[in-house]
Structure 1
Amino acid sequence: MDKIVASVSDGHVAAILRDAPAVSLHPEELPRTDGNSPILVETDGITVFYSHYVPKGHSYRRRGGAHFDFHQDPVPIRFLDDRDPSTGKWIEAVWPGNGELYGLYHAEVPAPCERHLFLPEIGMARSLDGGLSWVGSHTVLRAPPSQTDCSYRNGFFAGGFGDLSALPDRERKFVYMGFTSFVADEGAQGICMARFEYADPFGPAELWSAAGWSRSAGDMLPAPLWPMVRGWRHADPDGFWGPALHYNRQIDAYVMLLNHTAGGDGNLVQEGIYFSVCRDLADPRGWSRPVMLVSGGAWYPQAVGLEPGCSDTRVNGRGRFFMAGYSAWTIEFTLTPMMSPPLGPLRPDQVMFQALFGTRHAAPW
């Protein structure tokens, strides 16, 4: 173990993957997790929130040891005042504050279309019992109805905002959220940013738009960090989606891991996993050109810190690298130049995943 299996660099920041014992966030009866999985590393173990999509989106809370060894059954989380319990909800970001736990969720509302498509929206809730139950759930970002397009052929969505990750900035002034815009206007599709006041997370959101940070209202649309090459209305869209944000102490910068789809057929096939770096969350123009870390791979990459106080949004040095809830690798970002040429991206395939994790693994190849 600990052998370098992939290394890439943008000339300023290098990312290194090493092999590690295989672990998963979900029990073996599930083929994979779905969505970003918030993880809190504490002195007495870890708390994981993972999600699944059958029969509808729902999340579980799971406690385990520091090495991702789980000895207790996962517990379904509950929304105690859910106004629409028929809509699937995935908890995709959590952070502690004021003695409570705040969470953002991806919700999938059925689209008013003949085909089976959804309009994702983003909601927020809070928990007083460590994430077992949630109250105050309400929508914080919903795309304008005029941005629905029932002609979409991507296989999943007809518009909407979803597939998110979020974290507080280091000054605890704002909570920043990266999310995916699937709206009809192709100029507003792709990875986008929003923020909330840290002291008032239930207050109104601001969107990063063509006018800069603006209070979300009416028909306002966000400005994507990287425009889609081919829009969501096609069966084979080409672009980034599903960001996973973390603060990386070793390079003193924020890192975004990204899914990239291209060449699909109504299935959002995974072309690869990329990373981008930014020094200042308040200036989304500062995100670097994405660099491929994994060729192919599975949806929903994450970096997870391993020391107490770390999480899926804070990595001190070397952390765990997950995709689809599976990890057989550590990840490290460094500013130190590599002593030898990079090995290039990790190139997993179905055979590798089944050898590591068993034949029940499911990934979008």
Structure 2
Amino acid sequence: MTSAVFPGELGVMRREAVHGRADPIAEAPIRRDGRRPRAMTGLFADDALPRGPGQRFRLGSPAASWICILTFALVSCDSKDRKPLSDSSQTDSGPGATAVTLAPPPLGEFVVERDLDAGLLAELDVPEVRVIEQVLKDSVVPRLEFEGATFPEVIAAIQACSVEYSPEPSPERRGVSVILDRSPGIKQTNTTSLPDPFATKTVGDPALNDPFSSETDGSAQSATDKPEATISEVFVNRSVHDLFEAVTARFSCWFEVTPYAVRIYPNSVPKPVDAIVAFAVEEDFVANPGLEASAPSASDPFASEVKVDRETPRTRIMDALESAGVSFHGTSNLVYDPSSSRLIVRAPLEELKAVSRYLQWYSEQR
């Protein structure tokens, strides 16, 4: 077994060279290294890949019921047109890294958790994520052995274990779905010694192995020429959550628990760093955040009677923002504080900026 089989430590070294710090995940400063949002698409280990967003397919045995969805998200890319986050003075955080003092998005102000009311803080939490995380930690696998297993094979095996060893009594609630996300157009350092588990697949048309190979770095070496990382290891009495942590570290990836699935990203996709920002909003925004033309006509008394009963300010605002293209990751959430007429949002900085842009657009439409 070579070091390439366990590239987790190499991945840390690579990030250390880029960020200039030993633990970039813990502190993760927002850097002026010129990155800007761009679209990203999922890539899955199967020969019957969906061809467009929203298309679904089923992978694996019926017991596993591993549903993968082709999705789109925002990641960092290109640098030349990046605008400074603020005019604050810069501080060095290590060789090759420059951190900046963050400025809140327009129309908003940063908030720390200790300044929030306990009730608001509880509403800002995402209970679905906490429940799924706890189930993954309670799903203990007595023994799981890999011998030269590839990344897709390992993930499929762990997903099957999440079904078999789940403490949930209901079959419909057992196990988790897994989504693999990768980012096109981001070059990695040390790629000769660090195989990309997202780059090669064991089945299907070779052209599907890396659909971005022709538009990223222009290299003559195709994705299928790269060695495929494998793992040979025995895990005993480990929870499914621990297995995800151990395996993603081996393959230079990281995972995130969301209310709908476990999402796995390569280390080239930075982990989102959440902040909490409060936006002052008017009452009419809370009542009609999507600028619907009007309420249902009185001639149709059944038009929205049920919907109104179920709606809350949070669901109305969340639906309007998501319809406008604001994407919330696993722990992102929002809550409206009627006592201060503030919309409190926890999300990565780029999404907070998107919320700010929507609020600005909304005020201009009124």
TM over 0.5: no
Question: TM-score, normalization: structure 2?
Answer: 0.25
TM-score (norm 1): 0.25
Task: From the CA coordinates, give the structure whose radius of gyration is larger.
Answer: 2
Q: Which has the higher contact order (CA 8 A, sep 6+)?
A: 2
The structure in which a higher percent of residues are helix is: 2
Q: Which has more strand, going by share of residues?
A: 1
